[in-house]
Chain A
Amino acid sequence: MVAPILVDEHPLDNLIRADRMPHIWCPGCGIGVVMRCYAHAILARGDELDQHVVVSGIGCSGRVAGYMNLDSYHTTHGRAIPFATGLKLANPDLHVTVFSGDGDLAAIGGNHLIHAARRNIDLTVICTNNFNYGMTGGQAGPTTPLDAYTSTTPYGCPELPFNLAHLLYAAGANFVSRWTSLHVRQVKADIMYALEKPGFSFIEVLVPCPIGFGRSNQLPNAIDEIELYRERCQLADGVEFDQLGIDLHGDQPIYVGRFVDRSLPPFTPICLEETA
């Protein structure tokens, strides 16, 4: 038995709402790891916290808005990006981050996702991808790998999943990366980079969901899924976008890295010159 280390202060004290703890996430869930990366990214930037806003949709990842000690908006299912769009345009000085899950962003919110990327509006989107709808108990979603078992695919998932990196590249995002919750340094660095980069940034982070997804797919403990990431993750170097999809069969690689970093013009509202 290891004795707990008690400290009076934690570097993230001012960034996380201690009065909202304990959180609702299951043991082994990776969303908290990514939220911590987000909090550390803000801390490392040294911004006034008043300048950051977090907007989320519905689902496990949607609860991040409730835990971050920022102006935070926990909106309706799928609508985080358009809500954030209006907020950003009404106050362009704010750093607006959308933190939500794969189901919220890519299924019910999929149309908003591609159009925000097409507009290249200056938002940072952090998408935790756990391959399923966790909040409702582990149903298949738009990222569930082919043949994976969930409560709504009891014979294996018959659908191909979205290759989100390819989708966001095609839609027009300025920055697209993918990591896993094992890559905390890279995730934090990319969030910092995305917050600074004009235009639409999309950071996908694969996270274990041992309860909703792992149990049914021979990954009963979070550490099993983390181990799978460790074994299969490869930095994408010269890999074509259409090869970036995720396939859990056999020993297919899971490509990670910065896939897109370009400077298409970000969305700017029409502004008329003053006339005399």
Chain B
Amino acid sequence: MRRGPVLTGSHFMHGDHACAEGALAAGCTFFGGYPITPSTEIAERLAERLPEVGGVFMQMEDEMASIAAVLGASAAGARAMTATSGPGFSLMMENLGLGIMMELPCVIVDVQRGSPSTGLPTLPGQSDIMQARWGSHGDYRLAAYSPWSPQEIFDLTVHAFNVADRFRLPVLLMADEVVGHMVERVVIPEADALIYWGRKRPNGNSKEAFLPFAAVDMDLVPPIVHAGEGYRLHYTGLTHDEKGYPDMSPEAHQRLVSRLVDKVVVNQEMLFKTETYYPDSARVLVVSFGSTARSALRAVREAREEGIPASFLRLISVWPFPVDTLRELAANVDAVIVPEMNLGQLITEVERYVCVPVIGVNHAGGEMMAPEPILEAIREAA
């Protein structure tokens, strides 16, 4: 039976499959990828499902080809996605920069595993979270979301496509092996209930006068046109002017790179996503993300049962980093605790913005973090 793009209903669903279904629900019609544990099930699901909705599934020869094909498909107007894990994510860093520079919307999923190098292929990690921010060379900003459940993988994949389209950005979904391989209830809404932000399109000016890289609006996002629409435009990874032509002057470089960074900064209120638990009169704040946030919330609840006033900030958008929310919650606490499945990455970002001791709860990856060490850290800090 041929199914439609939105599998409305309540499912007992694998996290990677929920990601694939989120992509389809968001209108994804192109996937280019290369098998890699623990993200392979996303590709397998889309190999089955994309032909059902008239989309194209392409298994490429490597991850460099995968992201290049995704950008090419996006340039032709398709909603396009790839999915990988750490080693493949490293290979994609080159063309992540091209996507930033050409401002081509796309979604890149990293189901993180134990790293560095080949690391722990089948076991979880959260050690690509700084690579998500800084992995490609040069100055840039983007949006990266970190789901904590199969349901949220579905929701955030839809959201990632919306953000990518709306802001002409590559958007990262930084899942991890725990949530990627977790099977839980996933509720997929009616197709009519899904919200599509869509791409900004030119508003009727002449094709000749259209400038594909001019920030005509306050949001600094130029409207986008696609190959074959008659604009006959030039896109390059070189520094370029508003017309897209290469311009090697320091002034042009300053103008372009500043706008690409500012584009994310001025729109960050639309990009932030956080969840706050027990924000009032806490002494200890716990900040976490992804699967580790599940254990962190449990630890916070147990601490509160013991009478320790602890609060919890869950970062759903890791990048851009929600500085104001963190500062507000950290304003009156004695300590901030940052559990993460790496040896201390996001903690450095927290340390930049708060004035109280920041304590990391870390392990290098390989198993889901247990609530106990987090609870212990809360007790010690309180």
A248 at interface, CB cutoff 8 A? no
- State the CA gap A275–B65 with chains docked (Å): 33
A66 at interface, CB cutoff 8 A? yes
| Residue from the list B2, B65, B78, B229 in contact with A274, Cβ < 8 A | B2
Chain B nearest CB from A237 CB (Å) reads 34
- State the CA gap A81–B62 with chains docked (Å): 13
Mark out the residues of chain A between 91 and 140 whose CB falls within 8 Å of any chain B CB in the assembled complex.
91, 93-94, 111-112, 115
Residues in B neighbouring A66, C-beta threshold 8 A: 234, 236, 245-246
Known contacts: A72-B234, A74-B234, A82-B68. The answer to whether A89 contacts B98 by CB under 8 A is no
Chain A nearest CB from B85 CB (Å) reads 19
Q: Which residue from chain A places its CB closest to the CB of B106 in the assembled complex? A: A86
- State the CA gap A84–B80 with chains docked (Å): 14
Contact status A111-B62, CB under 8 Å:
yes
CB-defined interface of A63-98 with B at 8 Å, one 1/0 digit per residue? Answer: 001100111111110110111111111110110000
| Residue from the list B1, B72, B229, B237 in contact with A74, Cβ < 8 A | B237
Residues in A neighbouring B210, C-beta threshold 8 A: none
Residues in A neighbouring B76, C-beta threshold 8 A: 86-88, 90-91, 94
Residues in B neighbouring A88, C-beta threshold 8 A: 72, 76
Residues in A neighbouring B230, C-beta threshold 8 A: 50
CB-defined interface of A201-221 with B at 8 Å, one 1/0 digit per residue? Answer: 000000000000000000000
B194 at interface, CB cutoff 8 A? no
Contact status A71-B232, CB under 8 Å:
yes
A234 at interface, CB cutoff 8 A? no
- State the CA gap A84–B69 with chains docked (Å): 7
A271 at interface, CB cutoff 8 A? yes
Highest count of chain B CB atoms <10 Å: which of A55, A70, A79, A83: A83
| Residue from the list A49, A75, A91 in contact with B227, Cβ < 8 A | A91
Highest count of chain B CB atoms <10 Å: which of A71, A84, A272: A71
Q: Which residue from chain A places its CB closest to the CB of B94 in the assembled complex? A: A76
A230 at interface, CB cutoff 8 A? no
- State the CA gap A88–B2 with chains docked (Å): 25
Contact status B229-A50, CB under 8 Å:
yes
Residues in B neighbouring A222, C-beta threshold 8 A: none
| Residue from the list A19, A50, A69, A83 in contact with B72, Cβ < 8 A | A83
Number of interface residues of B (CB under 8 A): 49
Contact status B56-A269, CB under 8 Å:
yes
Residues in A neighbouring B278, C-beta threshold 8 A: none
Q: Which residue from chain A places its CB closest to the CB of B225 in the assembled complex? A: A71
B296 at interface, CB cutoff 8 A? no
Contact status B68-A76, CB under 8 Å:
yes
Known contacts: A83-B72, A86-B68, A91-B77. The answer to whether A115 contacts B236 by CB under 8 A is no
Known contacts: A86-B69, A87-B72. The answer to whether A53 contacts B2 by CB under 8 A is no
Mark out the residues of chain B between 82 and 101 whose CB falls within 8 Å of any chain A CB in the assembled complex.
94-95, 97-98
B189 at interface, CB cutoff 8 A? no
Residues in A neighbouring B246, C-beta threshold 8 A: 66, 74
Known contacts: A50-B230, A55-B72, A115-B61. The answer to whether A76 contacts B32 by CB under 8 A is no
Chain B nearest CB from A76 CB (Å) reads 5
- State the CA gap A78–B60 with chains docked (Å): 15
| Residue from the list A55, A72, A82, A272 in contact with B2, Cβ < 8 A | A272
Residues in B neighbouring A271, C-beta threshold 8 A: 51, 54
Which positions in B face A, CB cutoff 8 Å? 1-2, 29-30, 32, 51-52, 54, 56-58, 60-62, 64-66, 68-78, 80, 94-95, 97-98, 102, 226-238, 245-246
Q: What are 6 A-B contacts with C-beta separation under 8 Å?
A: A66-B236, A71-B231, A73-B227, A85-B72, A89-B58, A90-B74
